[in-house]
Chain A
C-alpha cells in the first residue's frame, strides 16, 4: 500500500475508526481503502480535476468524525413548509430526535443507511467501482462511511409528500463526514427528494449517492448546498435509469470554501429522460466545480442541462459537462447550456461543455457563455429611477432565477428562491 503525506493520515485512522469486527462490509472497506491509497489525491494534471483547486483539502487532514449533536433550531432555515418525511444526519450519523419518519406509506422504506445495512441485505450500498474505479474520494468514502439516507420504493408506490434529507456538520476541529446514501425506485414509483447540506466549523462532507430508477420511475431531486464558510463539500452521485425513467435534478450551490459535485448518469433504458439544472453563487475566495457526465447508452433518451453561475470577489467557478452518446443510442436528444456572470475584477470561471458522439441519428447541442452584467440593461433600469445597487441586484437575481424554472413544484421553487434572495452577494457593491 503506497502512502503519501496526504493519504497517510486517513490510512492510519482506519483501524480505529472502522476496526469493529461486526462490520459485514469489512473486506470491501479494506479493498476500498487500498484503492484510495493506490489512487492518492487527484491532481490538476488529471483531466477530470483540471479546474478544481484542492489545496484547502490538502493543507490539513480531516480525521473521521466521531459524531455530534445539533439543536433543533439548526434546521430552521432548511426545513420545507408543509408535511414531509424527514431524515436528519448530524456529523454523518442519523439523528432520530430531529427526524420524522412516522407516516411512511406501505411499500416505502426510508431510513438511515446503517439501519438499511442490517435490515435490507439485498440493498447494495457499495459499488464495484469503489474497488477498481478512479474516484479516490468515493473509495475513501466506502472505507469510512458511517451512515446516510436510504429510500426504497416498491413498484408503483407514489410518495404523497417530499422526503427531506438534512445533513448537518458541526466541528470545532477538522473532521471528515463520509455519507453514503442510496435511492432505489422500483418500476412506476415516484418520489420527490430534497437534500440539504449545512453546518458550522472546519468539516469536510464527502458524500456518495447511488440511484437506481426502474422502468418508468420518476425522481425529482433538489440539492441545497449551503455548507459553512470553512467547510469542504465533495459529492458524487451515480445514477442508472431504466426505460422511460425520469430524473429531474436541481442543485443550488451557495456554501463551502471548496466544493465540487460530480453527477454521473447512465441512461440504460430506452426513452429515459434526465434534466440537470443548477445555480452556483460564489463570493469571497470560494471555489466550486460542477462536473456532469451523462452517458446515453440506450436509444431515444433525452438530456437537458442548464447551469448558471454568478461569481463575485475572488471566487472561482468551474463547469465540466460531458454528454456521451454510445454507438446505437440513436434518436438521442441532448442539450447542454452553461452561462456565467462575472461580478468582480478578480472573479474567474472555467467551463468545458464536451460532447462525445458515436451514433449518427442524434440531435445534440451545447452552449456556454461568460460575461459581465449587460450595461444596456443596467442603464435601462437606472433611466427609470432605480438605484444602481438595486438595478444590479435585480439583474443578477433574474439571471440566476431563470434556471429555477427547471424546478416544477412551486413550493419547492419558492423555497430555493428564498435562499437565492438571501445570498449576500446580491447586496454587495461591485468592486470588492
Chain B
C-alpha cells in the first residue's frame, strides 16, 4: 500500500503545482511612485507625501539610521535570494487619493480587483457586518462602518489618517511594542512604512463587529510596508481580521509589515490572519517574501492577546507573532496553521515572554509540508525571574506529505523562575495509512479523506478563527493540498 500511496502523492503534488494561482492578475492603475532606492531623501519624500508632522519624520529617520547599522538576519532556516534594497520602490499610491468619501468615488478598477478576489466591498460589509479598511498598495481607499464605530468611540482608520486626527495616541504607542531598532525588517518598516490600520477601543467598550483589513500588493517592484497599531484600553475587547492575496508576478516582492498590539488592564485583543499571497510558481520563481514583525504587549493585569494565523501563501514566510505578558494574570495565545507546498519556505512560530505573576500562555502550531516545501516552527518560551506561577503549554505537530518536503521544530525554553510549569510536546508524522484506510473503506474518495484528515489535524487552530474567516481558511487548506495523499 505504501508504494502506491507514495506514487499517488507525487502525482497529486504535481497536480497541485500545475494549478495556476487563482488570484493572479494585475490591475492597471497609474501610480505616483517614489523613484527606486532608499536614502533619507526617500523618507522625507514619503513623509511629505503623507503630510506627516515633524516628529514622525524624525522618528522615521531615526529608524533609518538604526537600519543602516543592522545586518539582514540569517538565523532562520530559509534560503533567501539576495534582496537589493536600493532597487525597490518605497512609495506608491493610487493616483486619485484625495477624493473617496464613499464607495462610489473609489476607482472602479479597484473595486473590480476586490470583486475578482471575491470580496465585493459593499456587499460584504453589509451582509457580514464587517467594517473593511481596504489597503490597496500603500494607501487606504475606503473605510466603512466608521460612523457606527464612532458612536462607541472606537477609532478604526488608516494609519495616515490616525497620524493626522489622533496624533497624540499614535505618538504614545507607536514603537512602544516593536521599537525602531528591534530587528532589521522592523527598522526598515519604521523608516519607510506607507500605511496601514489604526484601532483604538476606549475603556469598557466591546467592539460589536469584527474589524477587517484586506491587504493587496499591486504596483510592480513595490515593497509593501504596512504598519498596524491596535490599542485596547482598559476592559475593552476587539477582534481584528487580516487577510491577503496578491497578483501573480515573476519578481520577488518584499513585504515587511509591523503589527503592534497593546492591551491595557482587563482588555482583550484577538488578531486573526489568513495569509494567501502568491507563493511563486512550481520552480520557485516569484512569490512574496513575507518578513513580518508582529508583537503584542499585555500591559495591564488580566489582559489577553490571542494570535491566530493560517499561512498558506508567500514564497518565504518569516514571522513570529509574540506576546509580552507584562501584567499579572495576563494570557497569551498563539494558534497557527502553516502550509508549504512546491518550493515554499516558512519559518514561523511565536515568543511568549512571561514577566508578570500568574501569566499563562498556550501555543498550538500545526505545520503541513508538501512538495519540496520546508516548514519550521521556531518558538521561544521565556519565564523571567519575577513571573511567579507562570504556565505554558506548547504543542507543535507536523504533517508530511511526500518524500521531498521537510518539517523542523526548534523550540527554545528558558526558565528563570522555579514556580513555572512549562510543557512542550511536538510530533512529526505522515498521514497514517490506518486513518486513510478507515476513511476509504467507508466510501470516501481519497481527496475527501485527505481533506477530512487535514482539517481534523488543524481543527484546534481553525476553531479559533472567527466565522468570517473559518470558511475561507478551510477552502484554502483544501485548495492548497487538493488531491494530495500522503
For residue A390, CB closer than 8 A to chain B, the reply is no
Interface contact A343-B418, CB-CB below 8 Å:
yes
How far does the Cβ of A327 sit from chain B's closest Cβ, in whole Å? Answer: 7
> What mask results when residues 341 to 376 of chain A are scored 1 for a CB within 8 Å of chain B, else 0?
011111111111111111111111111111110000
A141 to B294, CA, bound (A): 45
Which one of B402, B406, B427 contacts A356 once the chains associate, using CB atoms below 8 Å?
B406
For residue B54, CB closer than 8 A to chain A, the reply is no
A346 to B418, CA, bound (A): 8
Interface contact A352-B400, CB-CB below 8 Å:
no
Which one of A330, A342, A355, A364 contacts B415 once the chains associate, using CB atoms below 8 Å?
A342
B residues 344-396 near A (Cβ < 8 Å) are 383, 385
Interface contact B400-A360, CB-CB below 8 Å:
yes
A350 to B415, CA, bound (A): 6
Interface contact A352-B410, CB-CB below 8 Å:
yes
Interface contact A362-B400, CB-CB below 8 Å:
yes
For residue B486, CB closer than 8 A to chain A, the reply is yes
For residue B22, CB closer than 8 A to chain A, the reply is no
Interface contact A371-B427, CB-CB below 8 Å:
no
Kindly list chain B residues whose C-beta atoms are within 8 Å of the C-beta of A346. 385
How far does the Cβ of B413 sit from chain A's closest Cβ, in whole Å? Answer: 5
For residue B141, CB closer than 8 A to chain A, the reply is no
B residues 404-435 near A (Cβ < 8 Å) are 404-430
For residue B55, CB closer than 8 A to chain A, the reply is no
Which one of A327, A349, A372 contacts B404 once the chains associate, using CB atoms below 8 Å?
A327
Kindly list chain A residues whose C-beta atoms are within 8 Å of the C-beta of B418. 342-345, 347, 372
For residue A218, CB closer than 8 A to chain B, the reply is no
Asked, given contacts A344-B418, A354-B411, whether A364 binds B429 with beta carbons under 8 Å apart, the answer is yes
How far does the Cβ of A328 sit from chain B's closest Cβ, in whole Å? Answer: 8
For residue B2, CB closer than 8 A to chain A, the reply is yes
> What mask results when residues 215 to 249 of chain A are scored 1 for a CB within 8 Å of chain B, else 0?
00000000000000000000000000000000000
Kindly list chain B residues whose C-beta atoms are within 8 Å of the C-beta of A371. 420-422
A90 to B52, CA, bound (A): 74
Kindly list chain B residues whose C-beta atoms are within 8 Å of the C-beta of A327. 403-404
A367 to B428, CA, bound (A): 12
For residue B451, CB closer than 8 A to chain A, the reply is no
For residue A409, CB closer than 8 A to chain B, the reply is no
Asked, given contacts A345-B418, A364-B428, whether A357 binds B411 with beta carbons under 8 Å apart, the answer is no
A346 to B406, CA, bound (A): 39
Kindly list chain A residues whose C-beta atoms are within 8 Å of the C-beta of B430. 360-362
For residue A119, CB closer than 8 A to chain B, the reply is no
Kindly list chain A residues whose C-beta atoms are within 8 Å of the C-beta of B415. 340, 342, 348-350, 370
Interface contact B426-A356, CB-CB below 8 Å:
no
For residue A172, CB closer than 8 A to chain B, the reply is no
A407 to B329, CA, bound (A): 43
Interface contact A356-B413, CB-CB below 8 Å:
no
Interface contact A368-B413, CB-CB below 8 Å:
yes
Kindly list chain B residues whose C-beta atoms are within 8 Å of the C-beta of A348. 414-416
How far does the Cβ of A395 sit from chain B's closest Cβ, in whole Å? Answer: 14
How far does the Cβ of B285 sit from chain A's closest Cβ, in whole Å? Answer: 23
In the complex, residue of chain A having the shortest beta-carbon distance to the beta carbon of B369? A360
In the complex, residue of chain A having the shortest beta-carbon distance to the beta carbon of B378? A354
Where chain A touches its partner, the secondary structure class is strand
How far does the Cβ of A17 sit from chain B's closest Cβ, in whole Å? Answer: 38
In the complex, residue of chain B having the shortest beta-carbon distance to the beta carbon of A351? B413
Interface contact B400-A355, CB-CB below 8 Å:
no
Which one of B403, B409, B413 contacts A355 once the chains associate, using CB atoms below 8 Å?
B409
For residue A23, CB closer than 8 A to chain B, the reply is no
For residue A47, CB closer than 8 A to chain B, the reply is yes
How far does the Cβ of B363 sit from chain A's closest Cβ, in whole Å? Answer: 13
For residue B245, CB closer than 8 A to chain A, the reply is no
A54 to B238, CA, bound (A): 47
A9 to B246, CA, bound (A): 59
A365 to B411, CA, bound (A): 13
A47 to B378, CA, bound (A): 13
Interface contact B424-A354, CB-CB below 8 Å:
no
In the complex, residue of chain A having the shortest beta-carbon distance to the beta carbon of B395? A367
A368 to B410, CA, bound (A): 12
For residue B398, CB closer than 8 A to chain A, the reply is yes
Interface contact A367-B424, CB-CB below 8 Å:
yes
A residues 308-352 near B (Cβ < 8 Å) are 327-328, 330, 340, 342-352
Interface contact A354-B402, CB-CB below 8 Å:
no
Interface contact A357-B407, CB-CB below 8 Å:
yes
Kindly list chain B residues whose C-beta atoms are within 8 Å of the C-beta of A368. 411, 413, 422-425
How far does the Cβ of B73 sit from chain A's closest Cβ, in whole Å? Answer: 12
Asked, given contacts A352-B410, A364-B428, whether A330 binds B403 with beta carbons under 8 Å apart, the answer is yes
For residue B401, CB closer than 8 A to chain A, the reply is yes
Looking at B412, B419, B430, B486, which has the most chain A CB atoms within 10 Å of its CB? B412
Interface contact A372-B419, CB-CB below 8 Å:
yes
Interface contact A360-B419, CB-CB below 8 Å:
no
Interface contact B428-A369, CB-CB below 8 Å:
no
Asked, given contacts A342-B418, A345-B418, A357-B407, whether A350 binds B423 with beta carbons under 8 Å apart, the answer is no
How far does the Cβ of B320 sit from chain A's closest Cβ, in whole Å? Answer: 16
Interface contact B424-A357, CB-CB below 8 Å:
no
In the complex, residue of chain B having the shortest beta-carbon distance to the beta carbon of A345? B418
Interface contact B405-A365, CB-CB below 8 Å:
no
How far does the Cβ of A15 sit from chain B's closest Cβ, in whole Å? Answer: 39
Kindly list chain A residues whose C-beta atoms are within 8 Å of the C-beta of B425. 365-368
A358 to B400, CA, bound (A): 9
Looking at B401, B423, B426, which has the most chain A CB atoms within 10 Å of its CB? B426
A372 to B422, CA, bound (A): 10
A368 to B411, CA, bound (A): 9
Interface contact A366-B403, CB-CB below 8 Å:
no
Interface contact B75-A47, CB-CB below 8 Å:
yes
Interface contact A352-B411, CB-CB below 8 Å:
yes
Interface contact A357-B422, CB-CB below 8 Å:
no
Interface contact A355-B428, CB-CB below 8 Å:
yes
How far does the Cβ of A317 sit from chain B's closest Cβ, in whole Å? Answer: 10
A228 to B376, CA, bound (A): 41
- Complex A-B, nearest 8 residue pairs according to Cβ-Cβ distance, in ascending order: A342-B418, A360-B400, A364-B428, A370-B422, A355-B409, A365-B427, A368-B424, A367-B425
16 contacts between A and B (CB under 8 A): A328-B403, A346-B385, A352-B413, A354-B408, A356-B77, A356-B408, A357-B408, A359-B403, A360-B400, A362-B429, A362-B430, A364-B428, A366-B426, A369-B421, A371-B420, A371-B422
Report which B residues bind A (CB closer than 8 A): 2, 75, 77, 383, 385, 398, 400-430, 486
For the complex with contacts A365-B427, A368-B422, 16 further pairs of A-B residues with Cβ separation under 8 Å are: A328-B403, A344-B418, A345-B417, A345-B418, A346-B385, A350-B415, A351-B413, A358-B405, A360-B402, A361-B403, A362-B429, A363-B429, A368-B425, A369-B422, A371-B420, A372-B418
